Amino acid sequence: MSLPSRNAVVPFVSVDNMMRLVLHVGIEQMMVELAEAIEADFHRWPQFDKTPRVASHSDIGVIELMPTSDGKHYGFKYVNGHPANMRQGLQTVTAFGVLADVATGYPLLLSEMTILTALRTAATSAMAAKWLAPRDSRVMAMIGNGAQAEFQALAMKAICGIEEVRLYDLDPAATRKCTANLAGRGLRVTQCETAEDAILGAQIITTCTADKQYATILTDNMVGGGVHINAVGGDCPGKTELHRDILLRAGIFVEYPPQTRIEGEIQQLAADHPVTELWEVITGSAPGRTGAGQVTLFDSVGFAIEDFSALRYIHARLQGTGLFQELDMIADPDESRDLFGMLCRAEAAARVA
C-alpha cells in the first residue's frame, strides 16, 4: 500500500502500527537507521529554524511543543513530562507529531511519538557516543532502569558495539524488569546494587532518571578519567542528575545551547561556560574527544531537529508497508473558496438520508 496522494487524506501511524513497523524493520536496525537520519540532518544543521521548545510548566510536570523546519518540510512534536504519572500506572512521557509540506502547509504525516521518541532518544545517545566515547567501548552503565533503559542499551549495542550493560535503579523492580526485557538480545546484563557498582569498568555511563528535582546521581569522586557520560534524565528547569564538579572538568557537548542552558545539566553553570555543539563535531568543524583521559559529557535534553528527523524517516519508511490509516482531516471543498458550500451540501445530503 502506497502513501495517499490526495491532499485531504493524511497518513496516521497509530501506536499499534508503530509497533508493527518497528518489528517489521527490527528494533536495533530501526535505531541504526534513525541514527543515520538524525546524523544526516545534523550535517545540515544551519539550514534549520531553531528555537527552544515552547514549554508550559506546572508544579507536577510540563507540556511542550517542539517545532522546526528545513524550508521544505515543517515538523513539530507535542510532548509531556509528568514524573508522578508513574504512581498512577501512566507513562511519564507521551507524544505525537506532525510532518508538513512547507509549500502548501498541508500535513504529510500524523504519528504517535511516545514509542518513536524512545527510539530516537536512544538513537541520538548512541550517535553521540559513537563520536565522543572511548574507542572500542564495550561496557555501559545504565543508571535509571525505567521506560527508556532497554532502548538505550540496544542502541548502544547496535551502534557502538556495547557487549555488557550494568544496571542500577533505586527501585529493584525496575532493574528486574529491564533485565528480563533484555534477556536473549545479545547483551551480558549485570544487576547492580549501587550506582558505584554499576559504573565499575564502564566506558559509557548513561543516566536516565525521572524525578523532577535537582538530584545527584553521580558525584565527582565516582567518575574516573576517560569515560563518556550520556546525561539523559535532566531535561527541564530544576531537574538535573550530575554533581556540578563533574561538569567543571568535563568536555561538554550539547544539541542547542539556548535550550540546554535552560533545561540541561549546564543550568548549574554560568551562562558563558564553554560548550560544543554536537553538530560541529559531526561536521568536523570542532573536535570531539581530545585525549584518552578526558571525561566527555553529552548533555542531552532532546531537540526538535531529532524529532523532525524521526518523522521524516517514518514518512519514508512507511512506503509500501500499509502500516498506517488514512485520516480525512483536511477540508477539501469542490471550490477552494466555498468552504461553507461544502457544509451546505452535507446538510442537503443529510436531509435526503
Tell me the catalytic residues.
235
Partners of residue 328 on adjacent β-strands: 9
Rg (C-alpha) for the chain, rounded Å, is: 22
What is the 3 state secondary structure string of the chain?
A: CCCCCCCCEEEEECHHHHHHHHHHHCHHHHHHHHHHHHHHHHHCHHHCCCCCCEEEECCCCEEEEEEEECCCEEEEEEEEECHHHHHHCCCCCCEEEEEEECCCCCEEEEEECHHHHHHHHHHHHHHHHHHHCCCCCCEEEEECCCCCHHHHHHHHHHHHCCCEEEEECCCHHHHHHHHHHHCCCCCEEEECCCHHHHCCCCCEEEECCCCCCEEEEECHHHCCCCCEEEECCCCECCEEEECHHHHHHCEEEECCHHHHHHHCHHHHCCCCCCCEEHHHHHCCCCCCCCCCCCCEEEECCCCHHHHHHHHHHHHHHCCCCCCCEEEECCCCCCCCCCHHHHHHHHHHHHHHC
Task: State the Cα–Cα distance between residues 191 and 166, nearest whole angstrom.
Answer: 6
Partners of residue 326 on adjacent β-strands: 11
| Residue 165 grid cell | 550493560
